[in-house]
Amino acid sequence: MSRRSIYPIFLPHAGCPHRCIFCAQVLTSACICLPDPAVTFETLLVSLPQSGDGELAFYGGSFTLLAEIEQQRWLELGARLLAAGRIAALRISTRPDAVTPAIARRLAAAGVATVELGCQSFDPEVLRRAGRGHSGAAAAQALLLLRAEGIAVGLHLMPGLPGADVGEALHSLEMALALQPDFLRIHPTVVLRGTGLEKLYDSGEYQPLSLPAAVQLGATMLRRARAANIPVIRFGLMANENLDSGAAVVAGPYHPAFGQLIRSRLWFERIALLAERGCCFFRLHPADLADVFGQHRSNFKELNNRYGPLTYECSETLSRETIESAGVFYSLFSEKD
C-alpha cells in the first residue's frame, strides 16, 4: 500500500467505555488533555502544507464512541481541510465493536479513508483479562462493514498480554492475516505507570516479555506478515520523552527503535545462514547498511566473531531488503532459499 504522510491529533481515552489493563494514553501520546477543535484547526492551517496528500489522523480513544456532536466537530474540521486541498483524507482509530453499518457509511461520507482497529488479540481469555470488552469476531465484522464502504482497515496486535504466550501471538497474527487487512501495527505489551498491569506486575502475577524475546517474536511475526503480503507499518510504541526517560515505563520491551531491532535481527539471521554456507562477501543497498550492522554495530561484531572476517559492499543497483553473495540474490524475509 502507498504510504501517505500522517498528521496525528491525539484524543486520549476519548469515547472509551473501558479502561484496559495496559492503557495509559496520556503517557504514550504525551497529550495530557483533549485538544480543542477550533484551536487545532488554526494550528493546522499554519503547519500543514498548502497542498498535501497526507491524512489527518484522530488517534487515541475510540473515535466512533465519542458523542456524535464531538465526532461531527472533528469531522467538519477535516472536511474544511479536505476542501482546501491541505490533506487528501482522514484516518481514525476505534474499537472493533464500535462499527455499525451506519457508522461505516457516515465515516466514508466524511472523507475517512482509513480506520485502525485495536484488536490486540483474537484469544477470548486474553481479551477478557485485558479488560477489552469485545470478542475477536468483532474485528472481522467491523472490517467487512468498513471495506463495504471502501475504507482501508488496519489492525493492531499486542503480543505479551496477561495469559498470552508466543503461541497466542502467532495464532492471533494468523487470525489477523486471514482477514487480509491493509496493514498491521504490532505493539508488544509494556507495563506503564498507573495501569492495572502495573499492579499485576508488582504483585508478581504478570511478567512481560523481555526485550530479546520480543524482538525475536517480532521478527517471526514480520516474516509471516510479509509472506502474506500484509505490511507492518509500525512495531512498538512511538517514542516520546515520557517513555524514553523511563518515567512512564515500569517494565517490558520498550525501545525507541524497536522496529530497527527487529529488522536487524532478521538481517543477522539471514547473513548467519549464508556465512554458515561459506559466504563471506555481501552486496546490499546502502539504505539497509545500518540495519545490517545493527545498533552499536552489534550484528557486525557478533557475525565477525562467529564467521569473520566478513566484507560488505553497498550498491544502489540492488533492491532494498535484498542481499547478494557470489552472484546469488537472497531476500531478507525468506526463511529458506
Q: What is the pLDDT of residues 164-219, one digit of tens each?
A: 999 999 999 999 999 999 999 999 999 999 999 999 999 999 999 999 999 999 99
The mean-pLDDT minimum among 13-17, 263-267, 293-297 falls in: 13-17
Q: How many whole angstroms separate alpha carbon 192 and alpha carbon 215?
A: 19
Mean pLDDT of 22-47: 85
Find the mean pLDDT for residues 145-168.
97
- Confidence bin at 72 (pLDDT 50/70/90): very high
Residue 26 is predicted with a pLDDT of 75
Percent of the chain scored above 70 by pLDDT?
A: 98
Least confident of 22-26, 124-128, 204-208, 289-293: 22-26
Tell me what pLDDT residue 336 has.
60
Does residue 308 surpass a pLDDT of 90? no
Instruction: Count CB neighbours of 42 within 10 A.
Output: 11
Residue 335 reports pLDDT greater than 80? no
Q: Is residue 209 within 8 Å of residue 170, measured between CB atoms?
A: no
pLDDT at 109: 95
SS3 127: helix
Please name which of 138, 104, 144 lies closest in space to residue 120, comparing C-alpha atoms.
138
Quote the pLDDT of residue 2: 52
Q: Which helix (H) or strand (E) holds 120?
A: strand 112-120
pLDDT at 171: 97
Higher pLDDT, 13 or 59: 59
At 299 the pLDDT is 97
**β-bridge pairing 152-157 and 183-186:** parallel
Cis, peptide link before residue 181, omega less than 30° from 0: no
CA–centroid distance for 13 within its chain: 18
Model confidence pTM above 0.85: yes
Query: What is the rounded CA–CA span in Å between residue 96 and residue 136?
Result: 8
Rounded to 10 deg, the angle between the 166-178 and 211-227 helix axes is 20
311-314 vs 322-325, strand pairing mode: unpaired
Least confident residue range of 19-28, 122-131, 300-309: 19-28
> Is 241 or 268 the better-scoring residue by pLDDT?
268
Predicted confidence (pLDDT) at residue 284 exceeds the cutoff of 90 = yes
| Least-confidence region, from 25-34, 57-66, 131-140, 186-195 | 25-34
Residue 287 DSSP code: G
* CA atoms within a 13 Å half-sphere pointing along the CA-CB vector of 135: 4
In this predicted structure, the answer to whether residue 337 has a pLDDT above a threshold of 70 is: no
